[in-house]
Amino acid sequence: MKTYAFVFARGGSKGLPGKNILPLNGVPLIGYSIQIAKKIKEISDIFVSTDDTGIAKVARDFGAEVIIRPSELATDSSPELESWKHAVKYLQSNEINFERFISLPATAPLRNTEDVINALAKFDDSTDLVVTMTDSHRSPYFNMVKENNSGYVETIIENEKKYTRRQDAPPCYDLTTIAYVSSPEYILSTSNIFNGRVKAIKIPKDRSIDIDDRVDFNLAEIILKNQE
């Protein structure tokens, strides 16, 4: 099964300007995704979809091919799925065909090869999408709340059993940005990635950091230095 890896990295980032090529422990952030993809024998080629010339240069320096993304797909409000569709259509229009798609977001530099291989292995004929998840430290049954129309706070999910301990509530998970595995056909046909048959693999918390701001970035750097 021919598998292509994709990294979707736009130039604008309000939480951490220049995030995708900011040096993390000496390596541009996007470099981690490209490097890990190169270690996976099942992955044939690596593509970076971006609107930014600086990101494109770094991507090429690390050995990835670049797909120039239209500016309208690189705004704060642009759905990620539309960038996936654009990349698939771009390759198909150039008669470049493949069977398996894996997105390796630049914001998850702590993933390892086992995480990626497990995600790929989970994808089969009875699956449209594989996502990655980790244990949630908060529960919508217990300690996640919303404000109702009357101005009062209530749990997000109605707590009929009145759970008083997180351990007693049904297990919940946070999605991570370690990997997303799908097929070109499903990506082009769906309007929401969760419309289909979705499976997941579990990732330990220490590899599940999703870098959105400086705090996340600094924490990832500390973990990487400790690993050394």
Q: Write out the two tokens for 85.
A: 């569709």
User: For the chain, what is the largest distance between any 2 Cα atoms, rounded to a whole number of angstroms?
Assistant: 57
Domains of the chain: 3-133+174-227 (3.90.550.10), 137-171 (no CATH)
Q: What is the pLDDT of residue 159?
A: 64
Whether residue 160 has pLDDT greater than 80: no
What does the alpha-carbon distance between residue 40 and residue 42 come to, in Å, rounded to a whole number? 5
pLDDT digits (tens, 9 = 90+) for 47-92: 999 999 999 999 999 999 999 999 888 888 789 999 999 999 999 9
List the one residue out of 200, 22, 39, 177 whose CA is nearest residue 107.
177
Q: Write out the two tokens for 224.
A: 């990487």
| Count of beta carbons in the 10 Å neighbourhood of residue 23 | 11
List the one residue out of 90, 108, 60, 77 whose CA is nearest residue 10.
77
H helical segments located in the chain: 29-38, 53-61, 80-93, 113-122, 184-189, 214-227
Structure pTM? 0.91
The mean pLDDT of the chain is: 92
Whether residue 161 has pLDDT greater than 70: no
Give the angle 227-43-69 at the CA atoms, nearest 5°. Answer: 95
For residues 89-111, average pLDDT: 96
